[in-house]
Amino acid sequence: MTAKKNGALGPLTKVPTGIQGFDELSHGGLPRNRTSLVMGGPGTGKTVFALQALVNAARERKQPGIFVAFEEGVDEIFANSATFGWRLPALAKSELFFLDARLSPTVVQSGEFELSGMLAILKAKKQDLGAGWIVFDGIDVLLALLQNPGAEMREIYRLRDWLAHNNLTAIITAKIDGDASGPANYGFMQFMVDCVIRLDRRLEETIPVRRLEITKYRGSDFAPGEFPLSFDAHGMEVAAPETAVPHEASTERVSTGFERLDSMLGGGLFRGSSTLITGAPGTSKTTLAGQFAESACRRGERTLFVSFDEGGERIRRNLTSVGIHLDAHVKSGLLRMYSGRTDVTNPEDHLIRIAALLREHQPRCMVIDPLSAIGKGGALSSARAIGNRLIYKVRDHEITAVITSLIDSDDPQAETTDLQIPTIADTWIHLSYLVRGGERNRALTIIKSRGTQHSNQVRELVLSAAGPALADVYSSGGEVLMGTLRWEKEAEESARKLQRHAEFSNKRRELEFAEADIHARIAALQVDLDRQRAELALYTRDAEARHASSGEWKNELRRMRSADAAGAAAPGAGKRRAGRVSANSVKNNDKEPNRGP
């Protein structure tokens, strides 16, 4: 019946809680003027959740609220939330009203009771205050006194009717033991409310891990599943999935500090992207990260270098040995180094400190080395949650980040079962050792790079005092060659090249010589030919001259002999005969000059 009344309230609207991440998960916050149930084991943050929503409403929308405390005293609540900077005592003087609804331990119970008296009191207070919110914190404490499931159900119904009639956005918190579905009455309570949020805190190894899950949201869509939950200086924060936080994707490229690597990545890393560098110990993850930090500083960009379990000075000294010099940038203030100890500080505190540094230093580039250190205690899902939040935070600030992660095995896929950062990182570079020929050499592979055509070739990372560099690797007979073997191969290759070159020049010279020889011979023959031709020409002219002169000689002879006209009278016969005679005479003449002179 009351459900109908709820429906009559009109379409579902939502009120933001101001809890980072939760408003994204719930697509807008809690249902307005309806009841939400927050349940979880002890110490899961139920009270913080409720208080934060209340404080947010009071501060952001000047909406007064009532907090009914069944479990903790008001002073305790103030003390416990003092770290969040909400200034509850000040708010309690104006917008917020705290009702200490704990029953004194000396109270004797005799028979059944009901909530109607308390609700009458709260109604009066609501009118005085103009409250829009109400929190019943730890209602299980009160319900337990009823000692009767039927009575509990009756009082829950009473509460629900009262809330429905009073246009209050309500949060009821209730304790459950363990992660079981809880006592049966909460099942009923879950049915009664419009939104159910489950908080969970469990120990993984020795480190507490917190989770938030929306298990029900009547009339609304929400992000399903458990999400990491933690506390920082402002209160509770939920690591909402990436899709819930829209960021403008930059197309600007930022150098990794290695020209070769930049070109392998199609020009560098995208501004604001996060890059993961994985590798076994000693694979030069820090060197790569250091090179990135140095090049960022050289561009004049503010940079933050976060290291775990190794001091900033040691890192700088070690990097100097491979030609990466950070000291000057630290002095100039461009580079800020923060180093945290994971054995004494819990991961959430690191997160809070890093968040403070981000606000303070306002870096454009950032290194976290190695992020895997925060998961060292073995609480993987906690480390995962912190890691994820850190990456989201960095991304929110549009910082280009290089994050290293130590993996014990040389198989990069093993990483995916660990911190699960690869799924969030935009670029994933894996460093590995290749042992061959009695050497360990460092190989660099780009496993993924979002939005980028990247090289799928393996490169060798060569370290020297002049600075790190990338070299091509040789693959020979299906094996990748590095280090000395690469050098040998390179030397061999270049010797072979020299030899080939020499052979070629030799052959060329030989051929050129042969060609020249032929040309020379052709020239000599030509000379010979010309000479022959000239001789022939000379001879021909000589012969003709002689022939002509012999004709003239005959005619002269004939004229001198005064030959009769007979020869002239019969010119045809004469000519014919003469021709024959002349031919003979020519023959004779041929011999005659030889004989004559």
Do 234 and 410 form a contact (C-beta atoms < 8 A)? no
Q: Is 105 in the site for other proteins (CB under 8 A)?
A: no
- In the complex, least distance from residue 150 CB atom to other proteins, rounded to whole angstroms: 13
User: How far is the C-alpha of 597 from the C-alpha of 593, rounded, in Å?
Assistant: 6
Give the number of other Cβ atoms within 10 Å of residue 145's Cβ: 15
* Residue carrying the six token digits 């009547």: 218
Q: State the angle between helix axes of 149-165 and 184-192 in degrees (0 to 180), rounded to the nearest 10.
A: 20
Do 57 and 86 form a contact (C-beta atoms < 8 A)? no
Q: Which is nearer to other proteins, 163 or 195 (CB)?
A: 163
- In the complex, least distance from residue 135 CB atom to other proteins, rounded to whole angstroms: 15
- In the complex, least distance from residue 117 CB atom to other proteins, rounded to whole angstroms: 3
- In the complex, least distance from residue 123 CB atom to other proteins, rounded to whole angstroms: 7
Do 371 and 404 form a contact (C-beta atoms < 8 A)? yes
> Binder to other proteins among 27, 59, 123, 489 (CB under 8 A)?
123
Q: Which is nearer to other proteins, 10 or 105 (CB)?
A: 105
Q: Give Cβ neighbours of residue 545 (< 8 Å, ≥ 6 apart).
A: none
Stretch that binds other proteins, among 111-119, 226-234, 268-276, 404-412 (CB under 8 A): 111-119
User: Within its chain, how far is the Cα of 90 from the centroid?
Assistant: 46
> Binder to other proteins among 13, 83, 94, 116 (CB under 8 A)?
116
- In the complex, least distance from residue 387 CB atom to other proteins, rounded to whole angstroms: 45
| Cα separation values, 238 from 2, 24, 211, 227, 229, Å | 32, 9, 8, 6, 5
User: How far is the C-alpha of 170 from the C-alpha of 193, rounded, in Å?
Assistant: 10
Stretch that binds other proteins, among 117-125, 223-231, 244-252, 322-330 (CB under 8 A): 117-125
Stretch that binds other proteins, among 119-127, 303-311, 312-320, 415-423 (CB under 8 A): 119-127
Q: Which is nearer to other proteins, 53 or 115 (CB)?
A: 115
> Binder to other proteins among 8, 11, 93, 111 (CB under 8 A)?
111
- In the complex, least distance from residue 71 CB atom to other proteins, rounded to whole angstroms: 13
> Binder to other proteins among 13, 83, 109, 494 (CB under 8 A)?
109
> Binder to other proteins among 8, 106, 177, 438 (CB under 8 A)?
106
Do 374 and 383 form a contact (C-beta atoms < 8 A)? yes
What part of residues 72-101 is at the interface with other proteins (CB under 8 A)? Answer: 99-101
Q: Give Cβ neighbours of residue 55 (< 8 Å, ≥ 6 apart).
A: 18, 86, 88, 91, 96, 235
> Binder to other proteins among 3, 121, 511, 527 (CB under 8 A)?
121
What part of residues 434-453 is at the interface with other proteins (CB under 8 A)? Answer: none
Which residue type does 337 have?
M
What part of residues 124-183 is at the interface with other proteins (CB under 8 A)? Answer: 124-125, 142, 145
Q: Which is nearer to other proteins, 123 or 397 (CB)?
A: 123
- In the complex, least distance from residue 100 CB atom to other proteins, rounded to whole angstroms: 8
Give the residue ranges of DSSP H helices in 166-311: 184-192, 259-264, 285-298
Q: Is 222 in the site for other proteins (CB under 8 A)?
A: no
Stretch that binds other proteins, among 107-115, 203-211, 290-298, 399-407 (CB under 8 A): 107-115
- Rounded to 5 degrees, what angle do the CA atoms 105, 109, 113 make? 120
Stretch that binds other proteins, among 20-28, 106-114, 342-350, 562-570 (CB under 8 A): 106-114
Q: Give Cβ neighbours of residue 502 (< 8 Å, ≥ 6 apart).
A: none
- In the complex, least distance from residue 144 CB atom to other proteins, rounded to whole angstroms: 13
Three-state DSSP at 93 gives: coil
User: How far is the C-alpha of 239 from the C-alpha of 225, rounded, in Å?
Assistant: 12
End-to-end CA distance of the chain: 159
Q: Which residue in 137, 161, 167 sits closest to 67, CA to CA?
A: 137
Q: Which is nearer to other proteins, 144 or 328 (CB)?
A: 144
Q: Is 414 in the site for other proteins (CB under 8 A)?
A: no
* Residue carrying the six token digits 């009455």: 185
- In the complex, least distance from residue 68 CB atom to other proteins, rounded to whole angstroms: 9
Here the tokens at position 566 are 């007979």
- In the complex, least distance from residue 307 CB atom to other proteins, rounded to whole angstroms: 53
> Binder to other proteins among 60, 75, 112, 493 (CB under 8 A)?
112
Q: Look up residue 512 and give its DSSP letter.
A: H
> Binder to other proteins among 37, 38, 118, 461 (CB under 8 A)?
118
> Binder to other proteins among 4, 10, 93, 107 (CB under 8 A)?
107
Do 52 and 18 form a contact (C-beta atoms < 8 A)? yes
- In the complex, least distance from residue 108 CB atom to other proteins, rounded to whole angstroms: 5
- In the complex, least distance from residue 162 CB atom to other proteins, rounded to whole angstroms: 12
Q: Which is nearer to other proteins, 121 or 545 (CB)?
A: 121
Q: Exposed/middle/buried for 51, CB within 10 Å: 0-12, 13-18, 19+? A: buried
Here the tokens at position 44 are 């899961």
Interface residues with other proteins (CB under 8 A) are 99-104, 106-118, 120-121, 123-125, 142, 145
